[in-house]
Amino acid sequence: MGCCNTEMETGCLICGKDLVYLEKPVLKKCEMCGREELTHAHCTDGHYVCDDCHSKDGIEVIKEYCLSTNLKDPMEIAENIMKDPRIPMHGPEHHALVPAVIVTAYKNLTGKADDEDIIEALERGRQIPGGACGYYGACGAGVGVGAAISVIFKATPMTPLKRSKAHLAVAKALEEIGKAGGARCCKRCTRLSIEAAKGFFKEEFNVVFPDDYDVDTCEYTKVNRECLYKCKYRSRRECRKTLFKC
């Protein structure tokens, strides 16, 4: 599997042009399924693709990989999935990716979850809308950490302690994302959320995920035009080959 390398994976899925993010929603028709709905984003040529169509292929990639892997490090699982060309540089797929890989790793490590839990985590994550980071003040990847904990420990609105643990985990992930700053980068937010989750599971549940995968260089620097200069994952080797100034 190779990293995304075309404009289609960073911009519009129809034409590859940049997306425009609006302060107020407009009614648009999805170019793929024809559904009309309010949206805060479309490309410079007016094309719109709904979240369901945008993430359709990616969701299947996540589901198939998570249900078949024996890996116990959620970061390694996520990195392997993100290398698949069907996972774009940015998009709501990452909102489903985070809870799915956390539950998968927990299942493989402890045996205290099952395939149905993985699918449930995936479904909850995919319901978090695209653009939530800017329009809701809560990155979907960070919220995905809470979805994972809720699935694993069977939290509901009426389970005080479990509900609180999920809230605290999300708060930790969002804190790390907020402190990192920068514009959208679904890869960075995914990684930060998983790192926060691993720390939270260790501190709160005495569950220690292995550190089998070290993100020592980011292969997405060369395709992400919003790449954050101070990002902890930024690849110095790649940015020397691009217009980025390191």
Q: Give the pLDDT score at 16.
A: 82
What integer is the mean pLDDT of 199-210? 98
Lowest-pLDDT range, 2-16, 59-73, 121-135? 2-16
User: Beta-carbon neighbour count of residue 44 at 10 Å?
Assistant: 12
* Confidence category of residue 112, pLDDT binned at 50, 70, 90: very high
Gap between the Cα atoms of 83 and 21, Å rounded:
26
Q: Could you tell me if 98 and 126 are in contact, meaning their C-beta atoms sit under 8 angstroms apart? A: no
In this model, does residue 6 exceed pLDDT 70? no
More confident residue, 244 or 201: 201
* Confidence category of residue 148, pLDDT binned at 50, 70, 90: very high
Q: Give the pLDDT score at 9.
A: 58
In this model, does residue 3 exceed pLDDT 90? no
* Confidence category of residue 235, pLDDT binned at 50, 70, 90: low
Q: Could you tell me if 106 and 112 are in contact, meaning their C-beta atoms sit under 8 angstroms apart? A: yes
Q: Give the pLDDT score at 169.
A: 98
Closest CA relative to residue 205, chosen from 143, 136, 131, 149: 149
pLDDT averaged over every residue in the chain: 89
Gap between the Cα atoms of 199 and 118, Å rounded:
20
Q: Give the pLDDT score at 217.
A: 78
Q: Give the pLDDT score at 213.
A: 85
In this model, does residue 163 exceed pLDDT 80? yes
